[in-house]
Amino acid sequence: MKRAIFPGSFDPITLGHYDIIKRGITLFDEVIVAIGVNSAKKYMFTLEQRKKFIEDSFEDEPKVKVVTYEGLTVDFCLKHNVDFILRGLRNPADFEFEKAIAHTNRDLAPIETIFLLTAASTSYISSSIVREVIRHNGDYTLLVPDTVRV
């Protein structure tokens, strides 16, 4: 079984994340959307809210599993027999950042990172932008799946 983890904070899940997950399930038997827990980070949405947003977005997709985890992503992969890390790339800066992480992960464990380019229609969307729109009472609904409601 080909399994991939799609790690992130998903604060909140965006249409860009949604697109990568939908395309990932065409490549893998299972995509584990793994919400990383970082106690030093200040989130807009609780862990439970973020998990529910994703679960509700993929309630009819049995190939998507949503979990939370702490620690290194490669440790999660080793513990759960996951051979691939799925990542989305929006721009060259994402590539440089993700490339360094992928090399480090490969040094730590025999895990391959698979990069998918985001769709042109969602390449400008980030969770940071969505949070800023929400903070200023803008129409964030154009940037996130229908399951994300403030």
Reading the block at residue 146, the tokens are 């229908």
Cβ atoms of residues 4 and 31 within 8 Å: yes
Find the catalytic residue in 80, 90, 99, 106.
90
pTM, two decimal places: 0.94
Structural domains present in the chain:
3-142 (3.40.50.620)
The reply to whether 127 belongs to the active site is yes
Q: Among positive and negative, which fits the CA dihedral 68, 73, 79, 81?
A: positive
The reply to whether 131 belongs to the active site is no
Find the catalytic residue in 17, 50, 51, 87.
17
**Tens digits of residue pLDDT in 80-132:** 999 999 999 999 999 999 999 999 999 999 999 999 999 999 999 999 999 99
The reply to whether 90 belongs to the active site is yes
Distance of CA 64 to the CA centre of its chain: 12
The reply to whether 41 belongs to the active site is yes
CB count in 10 Å sphere of residue 18? 20
Q: Is the peptide bond before 7 cis (omega within 30 degrees of 0)?
A: no
Q: Which of 66, 137, 80, 146 is nearest to 109 (CA)?
A: 80
